[in-house]
Amino acid sequence: MENKPIEVLSTVSFPDQLLEMIHAVSPRLRVSTQLVRRADEIPAEVWARTEVLYTEMVLPRPGQAPQLRWVQFHYAGVDFLMGSPLLEKPDLIFTTLSGAAAPQVAEYVVTMLLNLGHHLPDLFTYQSRAEWPRGRWDKFCPLELRGSTVGIVGYGSIGREVARLLQPFGVRLLAAKRDVMHPADRGYMAEGLGDPEGNLFHRLYPIQALRSMFKECDFVVVALPMTPETQGVIGEEELKALKPSAYVVDVGRGGIISQPALRAALQEQRIAGAALDVFTEEPLPASSPLWKLPNVVITPHISGFSGQYKERAVDMFVRNLELYIAGSPLLNQFDPQRNY
């Protein structure tokens, strides 16, 4: 039944011009919006007819939406999906927004690499005291990006866009990913961004070889998804492999780096510093020692924020709607075996 209507339910609000882009994909689409926080706030008759769900985290019970065939998430990270009974529902496809947030997260990463390497936190401290420091050369001689080695842990959409942005700086790029036999990436990415073919790094490492990679790094960027395999994958031994002059930027998920091990490395100045946007407990408690460490930049999980986020989200959703209607494989399909 090629002309059968496709009932699309969104729990995310989009402005009219973006809704028009969704409607324009096909006259078969019937798009409705329910701005709710819980699945039981959506009427039973709406769930009963929903075939496609666009949502942040609102998910029905398996029997609540018998026609549901595809869930498109508004986020790239969907570790909250692990253990969901919906994963047992046959023929139900989940897709993530991986790639849509890559441009702004990658800009955040480059900002923090420059921030740390050029000692901006210390400079701001002196400015707040209206103090012209002595020994400026020793205090503020930078670790320049040009000629440095940057290691990217997790070579997905974010890592690839970081690699692209770093090209003019003349850095040596190392990358680590789960499957080194397939360096290309076929997930969503806006045209002209990222490194879809895997051509920009100088060397590719398996995740198991992080210590070998870290020994060579001046900067490490962590952009892994959270899975049972990646939780705590960067621990005390991996951090010990870093140079005392090395910096870490974490935009993955809290818990990929062992927080106790990282805190100890920073407190004991076994590494030079870190910029952290993700934490095992969020909001980060006021009692956390990380707040008071002078060699740490803390941001409240905002690296993916952008005024263009919804536009990028709809661009990706539209592409997937076109594929769905054509009966083709969707972009960014969640793989229960990999947990991302």
Q: Where do runs of H (alpha helix) occur along 50-156? A: 102-117, 120-128, 136-140
pLDDT band at residue 261, thresholds of 50, 70 and 90? very high
Residue spans per domain, the chain? 6-100+307-326, 102-298
**Is there a common fold for 6-100+307-326 and 102-298?**
yes
CB 112 within 8 Å of CB 272: no
pLDDT of residue 291 exceeding 90, the answer is: yes
What is the model's pLDDT at position 79?
Answer: 87
- Which fold is adopted by the domain 102-298? Rossmann fold (3.40.50)
The token duo for 218 is 């001046």
Give the mean pLDDT of the chain.
96
Q: What is the pLDDT of residue 3?
A: 84
CA nearest to 259, candidates 284, 280, 238, 240:
280
Phi, psi (deg, nearest 5) at residue 274: -155, 150
Q: If residue 200 lies in a helix (H) or strand (E), which one and from where to where?
A: none
The pLDDT of residue 47: 98
Whether the pLDDT of residue 336 is over 90: the answer is no
Tens of pLDDT, residues 41-66 = 999 999 999 999 999 999 999 899 99
Reported as a single tens digit per residue, the pLDDT across 147-192 is 999 999 999 999 999 999 999 999 999 999 999 999 999 899 999 9
119 included as an active-site residue: no
Alpha-carbon gap, residue 175 to 220, rounded angstroms: 10
For residues 123 and 133, give the distance between their C-alpha atoms in angstroms, rounded to a whole number: 9
Distance in angstroms (rounded) separating the CA atoms of residues 29 and 8: 7
Q: List pLDDT tens digits, range 303-319.
A: 999 999 999 999 999 99
pLDDT of residue 83: 84
Q: In this predicted structure, what is the pLDDT of residue 275?
A: 98
pLDDT at 340: 86
Tokens of 263: 């805190």
The answer to whether residue 1 scores a pLDDT higher than 80 is: no
Q: How confident is the model at residue 226 (pLDDT cuts 50, 70, 90)?
A: very high
Owner of token pair 């809704």: 19
Could you tell me which residue, 82 or 52, shows the higher pLDDT? 52
Q: Say what the pLDDT of residue 175 is.
A: 98
Q: Which amino acid does the sequence have at 126?
A: Y
Would you state the pLDDT for residue 246? 98
Q: Using the predicted structure, report yes or no on whether residue 338 has a pLDDT greater than 70.
A: yes
pLDDT of residue 339 exceeding 90, the answer is no
CATH architecture of 6-100+307-326: 3-Layer(aba) Sandwich (3.40)
| In the predicted structure, residue 233 carries a pLDDT above the cut 80 | yes
pLDDT of 337 reads: 81
